[in-house]
Amino acid sequence: MSGSAWDQALAQLDQAARIMNLDPNVHEVLRNPKRALIVSVPIRMDDDTVRSFTGYRVHHNTSRGPSKGGIRYHPSVNLEEVKALAMWMTWKCAVVGIPYGGAKGGVVVNPKELSERELEALTRRYASEILPLIGPERDIPAPDVGTDEQVMAWIMDTYSMNSGYSVPGVVTGKPLAVGGSAGRRAATGRGVMYVTVATLKHLAMPVDEARVVVQGYGKVGAPVVQLLSEQGCIVVGVGDVGGGVYNPRGLSPVGLASHHAETKTVAGYEGGESVTNEELLELECDVLIPAALEEVITEGNADRIHARIVVEAANGPTTPEADEILHDRRVRVVPDILANAGGVTVSYFEWVQDLQAYFWTADEVNAKLRKVMEESYVSVLDLAEERKVTMRQAATILGVQRVAEAHTTRGLFP
């Protein structure tokens, strides 16, 4: 039975702890988020009424450094989900070896229903409410589902106004004009591309003409479609909240992008036939890339997934039950905490550049990203083969091991 995302995250930790014989005292610490803040975010709407939204910021663990994690604006945001996403951030930062702990934030809201002014008010008030928790040495937010560069700029400005001077390093995923990094916008998708290519090569499957299906066409999914097409892959299916499109001969990335720019959805793109989001996941393909929300591959559909490889661009798209079914069916799953770590990696580069006030070129950023992703991929793969475990178990073990080492080296306070 599937539970919440938090149950899923705990189950993954517990399983890794069992396999690696984790010290039960360390396990106990890691099962609990360090702190969780629930805030009320009242704003004046355009019709002059006041509405209160609920927001969260969770720090899961800071043993390896300040915490890092996105902010999500979505109607289904809840504390359990934010806790799970924060825990996954802890392992993710450790897997790619960047000196951060894990955090996540969110507001229960559909940002598409707000005007620009309301969105700015919501963001500034939410930022003010979580102000005691964030800061360049403390906790550094970034974009996630429903938030973007502009939202990050408003948070940076709100924090800076309270400090009395500009603090670009308080958030990442900012516009270039206020201390953003070259290459950040497509970084998560670029990292997904690197690990997808590495997986295809490892399984001796040709990259050229590999058939790919992508669920989600946002900040992560859209660059994935573009970058994998550039590698010679054939993107046969793409979907978003509005629905999906399928063309076994391939969808034009340029055509999709211009259709999306016009209509804000890939649904209805005339270069393919319409499919539902359920059908999309079950299409004939070599690689399936969920890049939308969690828990989309479940025990209900896992045995109908045709892909040979699932690359988790989204966080938590596969439930533990589905994971087992996919494993039994020999579907290779490249787990979220490895596959989508390109975003936090370039966020780390952005933070380093902000702190030094010295900026790198896109080529420098992409080359450093590629090195981190390919080396992390090899570390996880080697561990999986050595321990005879899945890539997810290996990635979780690697992350937990590094966090546990930092925790025990520092010792339990007081």
Q: Does 198 bind ligand NAD (CB under 6 A)?
A: no
Chosen residue from 84, 287, 313, 325 binding ligand NAD by CB under 6 A: 313
Q: Which residues lie closer than 8 Å to 46 by C-beta, 6 or more apart? A: 115, 117, 118
**Taking the mean position of all CA atoms in its chain, how far away is CA 285?**
23
Q: x-or-dash pattern for ligand NAD, window 163-192, by CB under 6 A?
A: -------------------------x----
Cα–Cα distance, 135 to 168 (Å, whole number):
10
Q: Does 220 bind ligand NAD (CB under 6 A)?
A: yes
Q: Does 349 bind ligand NAD (CB under 6 A)?
A: no
Q: Which residues of 353-372 are buried (b: 16+ CB within 10 A; e: fewer)?
A: bbeeeebbeeeebbebbeeb
Q: Does 251 bind ligand NAD (CB under 6 A)?
A: no
Binding piece for ligand NAD, criterion CB under 6 A, among 58-66, 308-316, 369-377, 380-388: 308-316
307: tokens are 């892909």
Among 308, 300, 311, CA closest to 337: 311
CB 147 to ligand NAD: min, Å = 8
Looking at the annotation, which residues are catalytic?
104
CB 218 to ligand NAD: min, Å = 2
Q: Does 158 bind ligand NAD (CB under 6 A)?
A: no
Q: Does 277 bind ligand NAD (CB under 6 A)?
A: yes
Q: Are 118 and 45 in contact (CB under 8 A)?
A: yes
Q: Are strands 211-215 and 287-290 parallel, antiparallel or unpaired?
A: parallel
Q: Which residues lie closer than 8 Å to 301 by C-beta, 6 or more apart? A: 278, 281, 282, 322
Cα–Cα distance, 20 to 37 (Å, whole number):
32
Binding piece for ligand NAD, criterion CB under 6 A, among 3-11, 122-130, 237-245, 381-389: 237-245
Binding piece for ligand NAD, criterion CB under 6 A, among 55-63, 132-140, 285-293, 356-364: 285-293
Q: Does 15 bind ligand NAD (CB under 6 A)?
A: no
CB 410 to ligand NAD: min, Å = 27
Closer residue to ligand NAD (CB): 154 or 389 = 154
Chosen residue from 61, 63, 196, 215 binding ligand NAD by CB under 6 A: 215
Q: Which residues lie closer than 8 Å to 2 by C-beta, 6 or more apart? A: 8, 295, 298, 299, 319, 320, 321
CB 356 to ligand NAD: min, Å = 22
Peptide bond into 99 cis (omega under 30): no
Binding piece for ligand NAD, criterion CB under 6 A, among 47-55, 58-66, 125-133, 219-227: 219-227
Q: Does 105 bind ligand NAD (CB under 6 A)?
A: no
Chosen residue from 343, 365, 369, 392 binding ligand NAD by CB under 6 A: 343
Chosen residue from 81, 120, 139, 144 binding ligand NAD by CB under 6 A: 144
Binding piece for ligand NAD, criterion CB under 6 A, among 50-58, 122-130, 228-236, 307-315: 307-315
Among 2, 16, 95, CA closest to 325: 2
CB 216 to ligand NAD: min, Å = 4
Q: Which residues lie closer than 8 Å to 348 by C-beta, 6 or more apart? A: 68, 98, 99, 100, 172
Residue nearest ligand NAD, CB atom distance: 218
86: tokens are 């924060």
Q: Does 130 bind ligand NAD (CB under 6 A)?
A: no
Cα–Cα distance, 334 to 237 (Å, whole number):
19
Residues that bind ligand NAD (CB under 6 A): 143-146, 188, 215-221, 239-241, 277, 291-293, 313-315, 340, 343
